[in-house]
Structure 1
Amino acid sequence: MKSITVQDLVNRFHLELLAGQTGLDRTIGKSRVHRPGLEFVGYFDFFPQQRVQVLGRKEITYLHKQSEGERDNRIGHIVQYHPPCFVVTWNQEIEGLRYLITHCDKEGIPLLRTKEPTTKWIGMVDAFLTKTLAEEIQVHGVCVNVAGIGILLRGKSGVGKSETALTLIRRGHRLVADDAVVLKKLSPETILGTHDGKTKEFLALRSVGLINVARIYGRGAFQDETRIVLDIELTQWKENELYNELDVEPKYTTYMDVRIPHIQISLQPGRDVAGLVEAAANNWYLRLQGYSAAEEFMQRIEASVQQQQQKH
């Protein structure tokens, strides 16, 4: 199971440490933060103790309205579960946090502070944790973004994946990763494609070598990540194989239990492979809107047959 430390969170968001310095090596293993609410009244049945605990103005104001003894009692109950850390938003005054500082120092739980508003900070840290802690795998292929549509190009070595990506880049689309594509599972329906850091912006072309697409074609030729919505496999054309162009039965490839629509494009001299990838991307978008060219074609055929029957 992936995890990061509280120190990693401090470094990423430039958080101020108010207490609990000895706990900066505590691990964070859950991707969403939590705002204590029911826990203040003693209900802990579903308390997510492995998550970062966020205290905004609402939570701190509520605690201030309690007597000193009651406030210590309620904070003490949460602290005893040893969450990774507490984060106070809105840059709230230290004087009003003395009781928190005491508890956190005693238990070695980092108490952190940010100037950001609660909702904004939660959105930023949730996105960061979701990506950082996501289950991931690495696959051989090329990841591109074609007109806003994330595509994973796969195929055997030398089939022409990188060359196809180059043509797409020259047509105004973007490279995400070449050769080593990192896939992250952000949700049961979402796969994010990105690079491994080492190959960022690089495209390997046979007979040419490595090129930096951002340096040659500009910053618009590259982006760090994209949601994968199409899995396209490039294969060699087989003369005796039947290619049914009217087949509307969808096919899928599964990555980490997430199904991605799969298309196979067979290569043949003279075929505009990049153009076929563009067409596949645009056709997928139309299907998403509820339109199918094949279905409309079949409807026209049926309508024509009916008209002919009526004439007779």
Structure 2
Amino acid sequence: IVSRRGNDVLIGRGHEMQRHHMEIRGVGLIDIPSIFGIRAVRQQKRIEVVVVLEEWNQEAVVERTGLDTETTSILDVDVPKLTVPLNPGKNITVIAEVIALNHLLRYSGVNTAEAFNKRLIGKMQIASAKNVQDYLQEDVE
């Protein structure tokens, strides 16, 4: 159940009948607090990012740098959206944790993709200027 608070805050809660349970196909329903303890569950959580898991497709165009951001609208609130292509055997738990931590970094003002892009452009400009200088020094008529 998703509700909106204020202008841009989305809160997600589980339905009363399904609360604290998760379905794993092939396994069935599991009781999260019984397996992992009560600290593993939350009554509600702010929705800050949407992650779409897709089957890997070699022909698909996939964002690789993190510079292009996509959003989706939920109850008229724009939420960052990441699409992650997966091959069988990938550790989805680790991937989800990395996505969450990277989102927290961005929220606190650290954008790894932009910082890397700036460093790369700087290196390219230095290399380009050096190549021009080398060319001009060797251009003897």
TM-score range normalised by the length of the shorter chain: 0.7 to 0.9
Aligned to 1:203: 22
The residue aligned with 2:118 is 299
Q: In structure 2, the residue corresponding to 1:229 is in which secondary structure? A: coil
Which residue of structure 2 lines up, in the alignment, with residue 282 of structure 1?
A: 101
| More RCO (CA 8 Å, sep 6+) | 2
Superposition deviation, residue 310 in structure 1:
4.2
Once residues 275 and 248 of structure 1 are traced to their aligned partners in structure 2, the CA distance between those partners, rounded to angstroms, is 22
- Deviations 1:126-177 (Å, cap 9, x if unpaired)? xxxxxxxxxxxxxxxxxxxxxxxxxxxxxxxxxxxxxxxxxxxxxxxxxxxx
Say if 2:37 is the partner of 1:218: yes
Cα distance in 2, alignment partners of residues 192 and 297 from structure 1: 33
Q: Which residue number in structure 2 is paired with residue 94 of structure 1?
A: none
Q: In the alignment, which residue of structure 1 is the partner of 2:137?
A: none
Indicate how the Cα distance of structure 1 residues 294 and 204 shifts in structure 2: closer, same or farther if over 3 A, else same: same
Distance (Å, rounded) in 2 between the aligned partners of 1:247 and 1:282: 14
- Any unmatched runs of 5+ in structure 1? 1-181
Task: Name the residue aligned to 1:260.
Answer: 79
* Counterpart in the other structure of 2:46: 227
The Cα shift of 1:195 comes to 0.9
CA RMSD after TM alignment: 1.4
Q: Structure 2: which amino acid aligns with 1:217?
A: F
Pair 1:183 & 2:22 matched: no
TM-score of the superposed pair, with normalisation by structure 1: 0.40
Pairwise CA distance, 1:261 = 0.8
Identity of aligned residues (%): 24
Give the superposition deviation at 1:185: 0.9
**Shift of the alpha carbon at 1:282?**
1.1
Residue 69 of structure 2 corresponds to residue 250 of structure 1 = yes
Q: Distance in 1 between matches of 2:28 and 2:125?
A: 59
Give the superposition deviation at 1:232: 0.8
Q: Distance in 2 between matches of 1:293 and 1:300?
A: 11
How far apart are the structure 1 equivalents of 2:115 and 2:44?
Answer: 35
Q: Which residue of the partner structure matches residue 167 of structure 1?
A: none
8 Å Cα contact 1:183/1:192 also seen in 2: yes
> Could you report, residue by residue, the CA deviation over 1:9-38 in whole angstroms, capped at 9, with x for unpaired residues?
xxxxxxxxxxxxxxxxxxxxxxxxxxxxxx
What secondary structure sits across from 1:308 in the alignment? helix
Counterpart secondary structure, 1:249: coil
**Letter of the structure 2 residue corresponding to residue 283 of structure 1:** N
| Structure 2 unpaired stretches of 5+ | 134-141
CA contact 1:188–1:257 (8 Å) conserved in 2: no
Paired with 1:272 and 1:223, the residues of 2 have a C-alpha distance of 23
